[in-house]
Every structure is written in structure tokens, then in C-alpha cells.
Amino acid sequence: MSSKLKNAKRIEGLDKNVWIEFTKLAADPSVVNLGQGLPDISPPNYVKEELSKVAAIDSLNQYTRGFGHPSLVKALSCLYEKFYQNRINPDKEILVTVGAYGSLFNAIQGLIDEGDEKPVDGKKWSSSDWTLDPEELASKFNSKTKAIILNTPHNPLGKVFTNSELQVIADLCIKYDTLCISDEVYEWLVYTGNKHLKIEAPVVVQASPQASLAAEGYPDTSSCTLQLLLRLSPAPARHQDHNQNQSRRVMALDTQLLLTPSTLGALAPVTTALSRPRVLPADTSAAPALGTTFPGMWERTVTIGSAGKTFSVTGWKLGWSIGPKHLIKHLQTVQQNTIYTCATPLQEALAQAFWIDIKRMDDPECYFNSLPKELEVKRDRMVRLLESVGLTPIVPDGGYFIIADVSLLDADFSDMKDSSEPYDYKFVKWMTKNKKLSAIPVSAFCNAETKSQFEKFVRFCFIKKDSTLDAAEAIIKAWKRQAS
């Protein structure tokens, strides 16, 4: 083979992909698959019906608008305006992409150059609690820092970033004139006591802030508003939103990892320190009302969402980026030079599904409310199961994954060829083959420096039907019995 028929330099080192490797392993139908994050439950019936209806509409079989099918961008604008409390221009401030993965790609290709830096959350074991260390994070920012990728709720940990953590990030972004790419695909999957916060949500003045602010001891509205902004700390003002009756308790855990999408431009990933989990007292400074301020963040943030995760239709591969037009236009340029447009019928069906749920956001039947309730039950079941066999799961406050330290489960790697792989890679391969249960090694989410600190953890996905979870339970219990 000749020397010229070779790859471009930009893909050097990017050929290995944990998902390709592990999904192949789990493809055996006798394996109980708690690995890859896809539901084996059915999407809601009305979602399936909408897709069925659109197949009959001739014009929907041809190209639609490149940056997003008109009815879909309209629906997205309508939905998200409720959260931003501001108009979102459907043509200029929204881009529909091939899944949230496609949005991440467009954002990075559109905005990140070679040599730009991007703090990537690594993992550093420290004896202190697992929190985002503001000083360490700050030390990773410099004048070359172009963007930070934020993922909340977080995959794989299930962390839901607190107001104060978002504050730290927002402060740094503004200080260093840095972009924020906020991956919020699990935004609806937040469990009791937690609230999904949007770092880019602009200022909102509550209808009657005075009473609540007064409770904090602020003297009067005008000066306290000023103070509110300057302090950027949570006000106890309440906000009615679709997730009614969420208490303001802070979540139980702060550990974080970040899955870095591989890029096709050189990046200098910069690891930041993280720390171990802790359980915070239930009534520590409450998560703030939605829309509490992170001024200056709308103009520098691209927020990414996913139809796959919203409606349990990962195979539709539709996602979106929302942001100010001076950022979105660059993602649109990438789009017109990569895939040009996304599939029409799927976008129309998604728009219709959104309209159904937008109309009933306060209703428990709305999928944005019913799915997290359904999943919380499954989460709790997984937590009990893992605890019952002596594993220490990290209870996620959001998302549909749970990670656990599996060192107490016996595994025999004596016949594993590649002993240089991290423990969790070997463990998952062994478990898949021998116990017919698959998961994903958590060190796959770490960079080289920090892999060793997570190699005892594996990630389980719990957006699975009861029979799948029953099967997993049987395997794990039998395993533990065997060992003792």
C-alpha cells in the first residue's frame, strides 16, 4: 500500500472509541446490557404515532431548511423561552443537529481553533470532599482558554451542578472571556430535591421579589437587586415551573467527570482537579430559583439538548444548539459544510411531540414530568441492589446512569491478554463474558492522567425495563453469593 493513501493528521489517535469496543461486546443477546445509554423501554405512544403520521405526508420526504425544520425550531423556541424568559429567535438562535453529539461537533469545529485551550474536568483523588475546587479550576484558565464544556446533569456521575458551582464557572468565563458549551441533554431527568439550572439563563425579576428578598435581610428592592446581581448568589425567590414542588435541598453529591468529545482540531485539554463525594446537609444554601442570574453568560454560551434523551428516541439522532446569534451562526456555517440538513420526517414528528407536551407542562402526564418519576424508581432500585451486595454506588441526582465501585466483586483476569488496560476495562470485559452483564468502565471518561483514580468504578444505565433490571439483579445477587 502506498504512502500517500493515508489519513489526515487531524484524526491521529482518535481511532479508538470506547463505545465501539464495548457495544460490540454487549451485542450478544444473552448479555444483560446496562452499558450503553439507550432505553430498552418504549418511547411514549404519542411520539411513535407522530412519526407514523408524518410518513404519509409527501413533502416531508424531501429536504427541509438546513438549520432546522421550521415547525421544530418554532417549537424549541417556544419551549425554551419559558426557561430563558426571553424571546429566542428560531432562525438565528437555534440550530438542529444530528443528535446532541452533532451539536457538540458543530460547536467545537465552529468555535475552537488549534492551540485553544479547553478545561476538561479530569479527576484527582484528594482527601477532601468531592467538590469542584474553585481555585484549581481557576488555575486552569488563562488567556488562551477559548471554551469550557459543562455537562449538567452529568454523565456518568449524575451530578446536577449547584448554583454556586455554576457561579464559579460563570465568573471564570467572564473573567477570561471564555465560551461555555453547556451539554444539558439530561435536563429533564432530575430527581427529587434537585433542580436543573441553566448557566446561560438571563436575568429574571420575580413578580414579587420583595417579600422573599426581605427574608434574607435585604433592605429594599432596588438596592437588593443590585446586590443580587453583584453577589450572584441565590435568592430564595420561588419560581413556578413545570417541575412543581421541587424542594430546594442541594443534591447529595458533587463529583464530576466530563466526557470529552473527540475533536478534529488539536486542543490542549487541561485537567482540573476534582474531589471526592460528600453528602451535604439537606438545608444548606438552597438551589436558587430558576433564572437567577448569571449575567454575561447568555452571550457566551451554547446550550445543547437532545431529542433522544428527552423523548427516549436515541435513534432519531436529533439534537439542538441554542445560543446568541453571534455564536450560533458559526455552528450554522459548520452545518452547511458538513451534513447541510437533518432528516425532515423525524424533525416534523419531534415538533409535533413537543407541541403535545409544551401544552401540558404542569401536568403529571407530560413526559418531562413522568419520565423522571419513572426513572427515580428505577434509580432507587439500582441503588438498593448495589448496596445490598456491598457495593458503594454514587447516588445520581440526575441522568440515567449510576456508578459504583466494584472492587468487592470478585473477578478473575488471569486469562486477559492486555494487562495494561485499566482495571475497570478488564472488569467489564470479564463481567460481560462471564456474568453476562455489561456496563461501561468509568475510566473511559477520564483522561490519561486521571484514569487510575477511577478504575474501580463502572457505570450502569438504568433506563431499562423492569425485566432487564430483574435480570441484572439476579446476576449480581448470585455473584455476591458465590463470592461469600
Partner 1 sequence: MFRNTAAIYLHLVGPLWGKKSGASLTRCLHQTLAMAKRLPARRLDGIDHNPWVEFGKLASEADVVNLGQGFPDFPPPDFAVEAFQHAVSRDFMLNQYTKAFGYPPLTKILASFFGKFLGQVIDPLKNVLVTVGAYGALFTAFQALVDVGDEVIIIEPFFDCYEPMTLMAGGRPVFVSLKPCPTQDRELDSSSNWQLDPTELASKFTSRTKALILNTPNNPLGKVFSRAELELVASLCQQHDVVCITDEVYQWLVYDGYQHISIASLPGMWERTLTVGSAGKTFSVTGWKVGWVLGPDSLLKHLRTVHQNSVYHCPTQGQAAVAQCFEQEQMLFGQPSSYFAQLPQAIQHNRDHMIRSLQSVGLRPVIPQGSYFLITDISDFKSKMPDLPGAADEPYDRRFVKWMIKNKGLVAIPVSVFYSVPHRKLFDHYIRFCFMKDESTLQAMDQKLQMWKDELRP
Interactions with partner 1, residue window 103-142 (CB under 8 A): 105, 109-113
Task: Answer yes or no whether residue 469 interacts with partner 1 by CB under 8 A.
Answer: no
Task: Answer yes or no whether residue 300 interacts with partner 1 by CB under 8 A.
Answer: yes
Strand ranges across the sheet with 457-461: 392-394, 401-405, 457-461, 440-441
The amino acid occupying position 10 is R
Nearest to 32 by CA among 405, 469, 337, 448: 469
**Residue 433, phi then psi, degrees to nearest 5:** -75, -45
Looking at the Cβ atoms of 298 and 400, the one nearer to partner 1 is 298
Among 92, 101, 136, 479, binds partner 1 (CB under 8 A): 101
Looking at the Cβ atoms of 252 and 289, the one nearer to partner 1 is 289
Among 128, 336, 388, 434, binds partner 1 (CB under 8 A): 336
Residues 140 and 174: beta-carbon distance below 8 Å: no
Tell me how far apart the alpha carbons of residues 148 and 121 are, in angstroms, rounded to a whole number: 9
Cα-based distances in Å from 99 to 25, 106, 314, 457: 24, 11, 8, 27
Task: Answer yes or no whether residue 189 interacts with partner 1 by CB under 8 A.
Answer: no
Task: Answer yes or no whether residue 74 interacts with partner 1 by CB under 8 A.
Answer: no
Cβ 10 to partner 1, closest distance in Å? 7
Among 28, 46, 63, 128, binds partner 1 (CB under 8 A): 63
Task: Answer yes or no whether residue 277 interacts with partner 1 by CB under 8 A.
Answer: no
Tell me how far apart the alpha carbons of residues 446 and 79 are, in angstroms, rounded to a whole number: 34
Cα-based distances in Å from 279 to 50, 126, 286: 43, 16, 14
Among 136, 299, 376, 380, binds partner 1 (CB under 8 A): 299
Task: Answer yes or no whether residue 286 interacts with partner 1 by CB under 8 A.
Answer: no
Task: Answer yes or no whether residue 42 interacts with partner 1 by CB under 8 A.
Answer: yes
Task: Answer yes or no whether residue 146 interacts with partner 1 by CB under 8 A.
Answer: yes
Residues ≥6 apart with Cβ < 8 Å to 181: 104, 107, 108, 111, 147, 148, 149, 150, 301, 302, 304
Task: Answer yes or no whether residue 298 interacts with partner 1 by CB under 8 A.
Answer: yes
Q: Of 150-158, 257-265, 362-370, 410-418, which part binds partner 1 (CB under 8 A)?
A: 257-265
Cβ 206 to partner 1, closest distance in Å? 8
Looking at the Cβ atoms of 111 and 138, the one nearer to partner 1 is 111
Task: Answer yes or no whether residue 346 interacts with partner 1 by CB under 8 A.
Answer: yes
Task: Answer yes or no whether residue 266 interacts with partner 1 by CB under 8 A.
Answer: no
Tell me how far apart the alpha carbons of residues 468 and 457 are, in angstroms, rounded to a whole number: 21
Tell me how far apart the alpha carbons of residues 457 and 450 are, in angstroms, rounded to a whole number: 13
Indicate the SS3 state at residue 224: helix
Looking at the Cβ atoms of 238 and 480, the one nearer to partner 1 is 238
The amino acid occupying position 202 is P
Looking at the Cβ atoms of 113 and 470, the one nearer to partner 1 is 113
Cβ 268 to partner 1, closest distance in Å? 14
Cβ 221 to partner 1, closest distance in Å? 8
Total residues binding partner 1 (CB under 8 A)? 103
Cβ 161 to partner 1, closest distance in Å? 19
Task: Answer yes or no whether residue 40 interacts with partner 1 by CB under 8 A.
Answer: yes
Ramachandran region of residue 378, left (φ > 0), alpha (ψ -120 to 50) or beta?
A: alpha
Helix ranges (H only) for 27-116 are 45-54, 70-84, 99-111
Nearest to 141 by CA among 104, 183, 180, 175: 175
Looking at the Cβ atoms of 222 and 484, the one nearer to partner 1 is 222
Looking at the Cβ atoms of 56 and 281, the one nearer to partner 1 is 56
Task: Answer yes or no whether residue 478 interacts with partner 1 by CB under 8 A.
Answer: no
Among 28, 46, 52, 377, binds partner 1 (CB under 8 A): 52
Tell me how far apart the alpha carbons of residues 358 and 80 are, in angstroms, rounded to a whole number: 10
Residues 316 and 100: beta-carbon distance below 8 Å: no
Tell me how far apart the alpha carbons of residues 399 and 69 are, in angstroms, rounded to a whole number: 28
Looking at the Cβ atoms of 179 and 409, the one nearer to partner 1 is 179
Among 83, 191, 218, 316, binds partner 1 (CB under 8 A): 316
Cβ 49 to partner 1, closest distance in Å? 9
Residues ≥6 apart with Cβ < 8 Å to 68: 76, 90, 94, 95, 96, 320, 342, 347
Task: Answer yes or no whether residue 313 interacts with partner 1 by CB under 8 A.
Answer: yes
Task: Answer yes or no whether residue 208 interacts with partner 1 by CB under 8 A.
Answer: no
Task: Answer yes or no whether residue 312 interacts with partner 1 by CB under 8 A.
Answer: yes
Grid coordinates representing 100 are 446532541
Residues 227-256 as x/- pattern, contact with partner 1 by CB under 8 A: --xx-x------------------------
Q: Of 127-135, 274-282, 293-301, 375-383, which part binds partner 1 (CB under 8 A)?
A: 293-301
In which residue are the cell numbers 431548511 written? 65
